[in-house]
Structure 1
Amino acid sequence: MRTIRKTLSALLTGILLMQQVAWAESRLPYSDASSLQKLESDEQRLWSASTDFEKAIRKGGQIYASPELETYLQGIMDKLYPEFAGLIKVHVVNSPVLNAFAIPNGHIYMHTGLLARFDNEAQLATVLAHEGAHFVYRHGYFNQQSIKGSSAFATITAVIGIPIVGLIGNILATSSIYGYSRELEAEADNMGFKRLVQAGYDPHEAHKVFEHLAREVKLSEAQEGFFYSTHPKLKDRVDNFTKLAAQESNTGVMNEAEYAAKVNRLRIEVLEQEFSFGRYKHVIALLSDENVLKRYPPTVHYYLGEAHRKRNEKDDIDIALREFDRAIELNSDFAPVYRSRGLLLMSQSKREQAASEFKRYLELVPEASDKSYVNSYLETLAKQ
């Protein structure tokens, strides 16, 4: 009997070892483009579903239409992962939510809200390298997740603009949109950092992007449950990248001016989206940081003033006027600021000053879409 137990024990141990070896082998990352031709059938099905997801998200109209920006991002990704050049594809989602995610077939989706927050190309490359690592390590395939709760479904539908049912929901469940386990995220941090250094970017910029995002999430009390909108996960990124950077004495490129040239228009568009959602508190929290203001073109002072005007709490009107004055000082031909000043002054019964602002607005944009409204304001002021 003892002999039988020993034999069974040895057999079970052998089976477990074989399973561990098989798992370790199956967890091998993709090595290069040729390895993508050898997918198992279930992984092939996941890739096919990923293709359906790509079609659905494009059909949903949420892809940001800028071939120039997409080409710029693709060039950075190809530099980070040259052995997968053209295979890890980067797309831009038109959403102010702070997020980026990878789906199993190597398509990376960057939200405009996240792109608006980076200071330079090195910080952008940090996130692209991290998301690219999720693909190379096949995290989506090996970390089948489920999206729980109707609120999560509703949130994703609002952000991406497509119903997440069937295959679409399955792909989002395997994507990095909510992040993976701490172990897998650390694995992506390590590979991403290595690629960042190899591509010649400044490794000491890596942790800064997550510090910026964590600070903003805390200030604005962001409610989204996505990976780059979640403070604890951002703190893990800060800690990991800080430790990795401490081992690097060399610096690299940041390409701040080039990055600003690519995204300045997008930054303003994201602010306008925030206004359309009525997120004035969020805009104020973001732009009240002098370091953040430096990222934006001079017209940003108009948006900060407008957020204060629309929130209209204690001291907001005084701050709004100050920001409007600053915007005019930096760009006296920026028409929207005169309309907003006119509305503010009209609310304070300063009729002549308000009329002067409205007239200046119409001088700058004589065929403004809201021309009839502005003329009605002028008529009301004249009667008063």
Structure 2
Amino acid sequence: MCARCFELDRRALLAGGGVLAASLATGTAQARVRPADMVPLIGPGFKPTDRDEMGLWQQMQRVEEEVAGSNLLIKDPALNRYLQDLIGQVGGPAAKDMRIYVARIPDFNAVMFPTGFTVIFSGLLLRMRNEAQLAGVIAHESGHFLRRHMIRMWRDMKRKSDLFAIGAMVAGVAGAGAGVNTGDITQLAQLGTILSLFKYNRVMEAEADAMGARLLAENGYPALEMANTWEQLIGEMNRSAKYRRKRRDRGYSLFATHPAPESRMADLRVSAAEVTVPGRTYDNRRAQYLAAIHDIRPMLLDDQIKLNDPGASQYVVEMLARDGWNGLLRFHEAEVWRLRNRPGDDLRAAQGYAVAVAFPDAPAEAWRWHGVALLKQGRTNEGRAALSRYLAVKPQAPDAPFIRQMIVAGR
């Protein structure tokens, strides 16, 4: 795993890498597209025959080779099988030709490239409350592919731009892809910046939303979860902006390009009603999703907390807890306050750790910080006991020698 993924300044990263979500995050529909009107323009085994599209595919195939070898990817076989199965369900008639990769970058981003491969950022996985929400994002991206939006934008750009500049841009895409192989996150950001030139217009975004809703419902998922995802993102945007005392939509990742995300959310609610068949049972498959990300969820939360955006992090934890609190969420709630370190936050964090360890699934680190907090309060015996519990749960912890010294010193 690349430690720099969360050590880099978030704003610097998102200035480039954030636009990698252009297909999901740019524009809102001025006139809603009906899901019933959306039909795929390609089928299984599609290969381009026009010269310009063949050239674009060759460049994108080179990019995929480099992305596939990047040390930024989360190479968890079980997780990747799960995601591949999911895109196979909601990818439409060309689903068998689609591939999916997860990059360990703690932001909400996803993009499908014109050859049918998708890159998802790990921060997106954290924010999904169930499988239906993730399937909705993937179905939306698949909609762009099935409606051939990328080549349509490419041709439109060629009509409006200097051919030399376009050639340089294509070379830049391949070069950025090559940079990904070095693990340099700034190169991935460069790739996102270049791809932002392909930003889909509002009609294309509306088409992808409508296609996504249709694909979701046809595969037994509640299409309303696409609108719920937007509601959650809007809530996070508002909380982050309030904490930073900034106006919404300015200087904040993917939301900076949204003129009116509420309108898009409203359109998705209408589309969900249209594709929902009365009497049919729909399943958000929450349990299956939590099982799929179980092993990496602590890492996802830890990466989010270390972004130094307490407003967003607090919202994300509270949003996930709408389905029920547990020790993992309570611990990371306390971590928000410990790392923020404003007056009174140490007490608030100490209370959070105490609550976290009352849950059977509390991570070992909760016992560590609970013990430290107790020692600071002069509750020596309780603090030593908590630290001993930490060592019992995680005997090979890197800080184990230091913790043992703390226990001895507290006698």
TM-score if structure 1 supplies the norm length? 0.77
Mark the CA change 1:283 to 1:119 in structure 2 (over 3 Å): closer, same or farther.
Answer: same
User: Which of 121, 140, 144 is the aligned partner of 1:134?
Assistant: 144
Note the aligned Cα RMSD (angstroms). Answer: 3.3
2:67 matched to 1:57?
A: yes
Give yes or no for contact 1:98–1:228 (8 Å, CA) kept in 2: no
Give yes or no for contact 1:220–1:281 (8 Å, CA) kept in 2: yes
User: Which of 66, 70, 83 is the aligned partner of 2:80?
Assistant: 70
Q: Which has the higher contact order (CA 8 A, sep 6+)?
A: 2
2:187 matched to 1:163?
A: yes
1:200-237 deviation digits (Å, cap 9, x = unpaired): 22122221111111111221239776547755464343
User: Which of 292, 296, 299 is the aligned partner of 1:266?
Assistant: 296
Give yes or no for contact 1:355–1:378 (8 Å, CA) kept in 2: yes
The aligned residue for residue 325 of structure 1 is 354
Give yes or no for contact 1:338–1:361 (8 Å, CA) kept in 2: yes
Tell me the distance in 2 between the aligned counterparts of 1:208 and 1:350: 45
When structure 1 is superposed on structure 2, of 214-223 and 268-277 the one drifting more is 214-223
1:217 maps to a residue whose letter is M
Tell me the distance in 1 between the aligned counterparts of 2:252 and 2:338: 29
Mark the CA change 1:43 to 1:86 in structure 2 (over 3 Å): closer, same or farther.
Answer: same
2:192 matched to 1:172?
A: no
Tell me the distance in 2 between the aligned counterparts of 1:249 and 1:136: 22
1:249-282 deviation digits (Å, cap 9, x = unpaired): 5252211211111123333211111244444443
Mark the CA change 1:235 to 1:101 in structure 2 (over 3 Å): closer, same or farther.
Answer: farther
Q: Indicate the SS of the match to 1:324.
A: helix
Alignment map for 1:249-288 (pairs within 5 Å): 249-250=276-277, 252-288=282-318
2:185 maps to a residue whose letter is G
User: Which of 265, 279, 290 is the aligned partner of 1:238?
Assistant: 265
User: Which of 310, 320, 327 is the aligned partner of 2:339?
Assistant: 310
Tell me the distance in 1 between the aligned counterparts of 2:235 and 2:126: 15
1:358-378 deviation digits (Å, cap 9, x = unpaired): 233223333321112223434
Mark the CA change 1:94 to 1:297 in structure 2 (over 3 Å): closer, same or farther.
Answer: farther
1:61-117 deviation digits (Å, cap 9, x = unpaired): 111112222222222222223421321222212221011111111111122211121
Q: Indicate the SS of the match to 2:294.
A: helix
Tell me the distance in 2 between the aligned counterparts of 1:253 and 1:160: 40
2:289 maps to a residue whose letter is Y
User: Which of 213, 219, 237 is the aligned partner of 1:199?
Assistant: 219
The aligned residue for residue 121 of structure 2 is 111
Give yes or no for contact 1:103–1:172 (8 Å, CA) kept in 2: no
Give yes or no for contact 1:89–1:108 (8 Å, CA) kept in 2: yes
Mark the CA change 1:78 to 1:163 in structure 2 (over 3 Å): closer, same or farther.
Answer: same
Q: Give the deviation of 1:303 after TM superposition.
A: 1.5
User: Which of 121, 143, 156 is the aligned partner of 2:153?
Assistant: 143
When structure 1 is superposed on structure 2, of 304-313 and 347-356 the one drifting more is 347-356
Give yes or no for contact 1:339–1:357 (8 Å, CA) kept in 2: yes
The aligned residue for residue 23 of structure 1 is none
Which 5+ residue runs of structure 1 have no aligned equivalent? 1-27, 148-152
Q: Give the deviation of 1:334 after TM superposition.
A: 4.0
2:105 matched to 1:95?
A: yes
1:243 maps to a residue whose letter is V
Which 5+ residue runs of structure 2 have no aligned equivalent? 1-38, 158-165, 170-175, 242-248
The aligned residue for residue 90 of structure 2 is 80
Give yes or no for contact 2:100–2:117 (8 Å, CA) kept in 1: yes
Tell me the distance in 1 between the aligned counterparts of 2:189 and 2:232: 34
Tell me the distance in 2 between the aligned counterparts of 1:339 and 1:360: 8
The aligned residue for residue 373 of structure 1 is 402
Give yes or no for contact 1:61–1:161 (8 Å, CA) kept in 2: no
The aligned residue for residue 19 of structure 2 is none
Q: Indicate the SS of the match to 2:234.
A: helix
1:285 maps to a residue whose letter is Y
Mark the CA change 1:226 to 1:39 in structure 2 (over 3 Å): closer, same or farther.
Answer: farther
